[in-house]
Amino acid sequence: MSTVFTGIGELVTNDPSQGDGSRLGIVTDGAIVVEGERIAWIGERRHAPDADARIDLGGGSVIPGFVDSHAHLVFAGERSAEFAARMSGQPYAAGGIATTVAATRAADDAALRHGLARWADEMVRGGITTFETKSGYGLTVADEARALRLASDFTPETTFLGAHVVPAEYRDDRDGYVDLVTGPMLAECAPLARWIDVFCDRGAFDVDESEAILRAGAAAGLIPRLHAGQLELGAGIQLAVELGAASVDHCTYASDADVEALASAAGTTVATLLPGAEFCTRATYPDAQRFLAAGATVALATDCNPGSSFTSSMSFCIALAVRDMYFTPAQALWSATAGGAAALRRDDVGVLEPGTRADFVALDAPSYVHLAYRPGVPLVRDVVMAGSVVSTPGF
């Protein structure tokens, strides 16, 4: 059974061999033929082969589904009071994580699953067709394993973040907590995760602790990624590059040497920028052009979490990235799709070409540029995931 999707005024493929030959590979009046979960053919409509069925996407722009390579969706409770305090001048600190840890430990599985389903549904309706999610609000062996078990029902991209902060009960025994994370917690969590992450920053873990945890994770078969440079300059970005991590995320603070290291590791370690975090913590945005001009691979992700970035909207992140991080609209779109796929080391998503997953999004707009040009407007009209239309107007 094959389906041809038409009504595509502008088709962003991320395949430079298509259409205008730009990095976004933009085809005018395009069509996509889908067989099962994959793309069988893509190009100009006038050349499209016959198919068993036809779906009209409304004539606007069609883009690859967003790939959100950084989110924290297993949690209970919310922290609007903390957000309001920040907007009245309080600074953001890693310590707020403890509030969510307490609420998450107290929640039953059904409540956590219900939350995950809600955030995942928000993401899909907003055009995110692949997302990663982390543990990190449990911080006991049982609670971290539970978070990963629940998350695995929603995404294959699960990340063990036992090293989010040192929990209160280990305040006077940091080494004891690192031993727990690298020992029994890792043993229980490694089979449930693909990735391992550490929050390497002020108030969380230092670079030596981070290295020990990531090396232990790698020895257990997990692939490292790292939170670094959110709150201050540090050695985290260089550590991520040294370890061949798949990504280093935030990079709000990055030295010239950090940027150079990321550029030299462009095929291996992606710099993932998280504009929702700067927005929600009222921090200064990093200038994406530093990373892009140097040649680093750059991804954009939501960092959706109740403390520092409570948005599940990639469109909103693209608008912030363009307006405040100096991405061009084309760079932002690439980073939110192909860049995210690179950060998750996935070659089956983020690009629309024969053989990749049929994950794409039809916008109620003539051009993808409207994602930044019309901030806050819900432009996602249809979401196609693995070949099936999962949302329709009014969904």
Taking CB atoms, the residue at the shortest distance from ligand NIG is 307
Helices and strands (DSSP H and E) totals, the chain: 15, 17
CB of 252 to ligand NIG, least distance (A): 10
- 47 is known to lie in a ligand binding site: no
The answer to whether 303 contacts Fe ion (rule: CB under 5 A) is: yes
In angstroms, rounded to a whole number, what is the distance separating the alpha carbons of residues 206 and 256? 21
CB distance 212 to 182 below 8 Å: yes
- 14 is known to lie in a ligand binding site: no
CB of 386 to ligand NIG, least distance (A): 28
Q: What are the phi and psi torsion angles at 122 (to 5°)?
A: -60, -45
CB of 230 to ligand NIG, least distance (A): 5
- 72 is known to lie in a ligand binding site: yes
133 versus 155: smaller Cβ distance to ligand NIG: 133
307 contacts which partner out of ligand NIG, Fe ion, none, CB within 5 to 8 A by kind?
ligand NIG
Q: Give the count of beta carbons closer than 10 Å to the beta carbon of residue 23.
A: 14
- 355 is known to lie in a ligand binding site: no
77 versus 354: smaller Cβ distance to ligand NIG: 77
Going by C-beta distance under 8 Å and a sequence separation of 6 or more, which residues neighbour residue 5? 31, 32, 33, 34, 54, 55, 56, 57, 62, 360, 384
96 contacts which partner out of ligand NIG, Fe ion, none, CB within 5 to 8 A by kind?
ligand NIG
| DSSP, res 106 | H
- 250 is known to lie in a ligand binding site: no
136-144, 215-223, 296-304, 374-382 -> range binding Fe ion (CB under 5 A): 296-304
329 contacts which partner out of ligand NIG, Fe ion, none, CB within 5 to 8 A by kind?
none
Bridge partners (DSSP) of residue 184 are none
CB distance 75 to 306 below 8 Å: yes
135 versus 297: smaller Cβ distance to ligand NIG: 135
Q: Give the count of beta carbons closer than 10 Å to the beta carbon of residue 316.
A: 19
- 114 is known to lie in a ligand binding site: no
Cα–Cα distances in Å, from 65 out to 273, 363, 372, 380?
18, 11, 16, 10
Q: Could you list the residues that contact ligand NIG (CB under 6 A)?
A: 72, 96-97, 100, 199, 227, 230, 277, 303, 305-309
- 308 is known to lie in a ligand binding site: yes
Report the interface residues with Fe ion, using CB under 5 A.
Answer: 303
- Binding residues, as ranges, are 70, 72, 79, 137, 164, 227, 230, 303, 305, 307-308
